[in-house]
Amino acid sequence: MTTLTIREKLEKRELENLSEIATKAVNTKGRRVKEDESDLRTCFQRDRDRILHSKAFRRLKHKTQVFLSPFDDHFRTRLTHTLEVSQIARTISRALDLNEDLTEAISLGHDLGHTPFGHCGEGVLNELVYGGFNHNIQSVRVVEVLENLNLCRETIEGIRTHSWGYEPTTPEGKVVQLADKIAYINHDIEDSIRAGVISESDLPKDCIAYFSSNQSKRLNKMITEIVNNSLGKSDISMSEEAWGYTTMLRSWMFENVYNDESIAKLEETKARRVIKELFYHYCGMLKTVCPPEKIVWVVTDYISGMTDRYAVERFKENFIPTGLKCSAREDYLFKLANSD
């Protein structure tokens, strides 16, 4: 008798225990470059680990979620948003007997291509780049080209389709798409209240009556609605009523927080200038060393990968004059030490 590897045991367990609609590791569509299998981990577990150890993932801790470069450590960053999406998506997948490893891999990778300064930065690049810029497409470019993680096709497709308006091809991808919406609606409400931008009493009364004004209860109800409405079905979705209130709450957030002209617009104007000036500056720098058709994508890759603070530092370095720095600044200290 041949002894199964740990990976083979895990794959066998998936076949025996996961839902019929779940994506099984043993049935993966594979990677762009074929690799030897691991003895310990399934292909989707390896995808998750590669994303977790990537440089792009580490940079998420200094990228804006909604509020630009907050000094208050309790505001979400792009990294904490990603972790909350992962937690919500894994809870749903586990409850529905879907592939939790694939769900986690997609969750952790879904925002790797996001720009500095959040959606403000994404909007600027979308204006500057011919054909537009979308962070989900850039996230795929990060894992396929810039860091060449050689992920499974299911993971890449889940990352690509997590954004609104795309149709995921796996139930795990659908879970992440829903978890992303649930996560940012709820934590952006909490952050907006913390920032004094809105108050709890401002929230739409119908939505609060249905979901509750309590953050934890509201989040739990949204997750439960997905699980209860999807059990035993071939599709992953909320009930029609719950989805109606969720989209109503999302629309309200866009109108009163995300797109409100009075909220931190001065800072967003500054952030837009940083991105624009750096874009034109770097395009000019590359004119003599790079083919014209390549320049824009090189610069886009570079800027979209920046953290907020790195972008600000590059802007200062290139556009803000600095005084002459004296290397003998501590001479007086030693003069005092040597005096009688």
**Which has more confidence, 263 or 125?**
125
pTM: 0.93
Structure confidence at residue 69 as a pLDDT band (50, 70, 90): low
CB of 85 within 8 A of CB of 103?
A: no
CB of 186 within 8 A of CB of 219?
A: yes
What is the reported pLDDT for 261?
64
What is the reported pLDDT for 333?
65
Q: Assess whether pLDDT exceeds 60 at residue 238.
A: yes
CB of 293 within 8 A of CB of 329?
A: no
CB of 156 within 8 A of CB of 143?
A: yes
Residue given tokens 């530092």 in the structure block: 313
Q: Assess whether pLDDT exceeds 80 at residue 42.
A: yes
Q: Assess whether pLDDT exceeds 90 at residue 260.
A: no
Q: Assess whether pLDDT exceeds 70 at residue 104.
A: yes
CA distance 28 to 44: 9
What is the reported pLDDT for 292?
86
What is the reported pLDDT for 334?
65
Looking at the DSSP assignment, which residues form a beta bridge with residue 64?
77
First-residue to last-residue Cα distance in the chain: 88
What is the reported pLDDT for 162?
98
What is the reported pLDDT for 110?
98
The whole-chain average pLDDT of the chain stands at 93
CA distance 105 to 86: 8
Structure confidence at residue 340 as a pLDDT band (50, 70, 90): low
Q: Assess whether pLDDT exceeds 70 at residue 34.
A: yes
CB of 64 within 8 A of CB of 307?
A: no
What lies within 8 Å, CB to CB, of 38 at 6+ separation is 7, 45, 46
Lookup: tokens for 11: 């794959």
CB of 62 within 8 A of CB of 310?
A: yes
Report pLDDT digits (tens) over 325-335. Answer: 665 556 666 66
CA distance 9 to 21: 20
Work out the average pLDDT over 7-33. Answer: 98
Coil, strand, or helix at residue 136? Answer: helix
Report pLDDT digits (tens) over 70-96. Answer: 567 889 999 999 999 999 999 999 999
Q: Which of 200, 178, 325 is nearest to 256 (CA)?
A: 200
Q: Which long-range contacts (CB under 8 A, 24 or more apart) does 261-264 make?
A: 263/197, 264/67, 264/68
CB of 24 within 8 A of CB of 12?
A: no
Report the topology of domain 6-203.
Answer: Hypothetical protein af1432 (1.10.3210)
Work out the average pLDDT over 255-266. Answer: 73
Coil, strand, or helix at residue 166? Answer: coil
What lies within 8 Å, CB to CB, of 173 at 6+ separation is 106, 154, 157, 158, 161, 162
Boundaries of every domain in the chain? 6-203
Structure confidence at residue 267 as a pLDDT band (50, 70, 90): confident
Work out the average pLDDT over 287-312. Answer: 94
Residue given tokens 């396929």 in the structure block: 144
User: Please, how many CA atoms are within 13 Å of residue 73, restricted to the half-sphere of its CB?
Assistant: 0
Coil, strand, or helix at residue 107? Answer: helix
Lookup: tokens for 261: 């002209």
Report pLDDT digits (tens) over 156-200. Answer: 999 999 998 999 999 999 999 999 999 999 999 999 999 888 999
Instruction: Fill in the DSSP letter of residue 115.
Output: P
User: Please, how many CA atoms are within 13 Å of residue 153, restricted to the half-sphere of its CB?
Assistant: 10
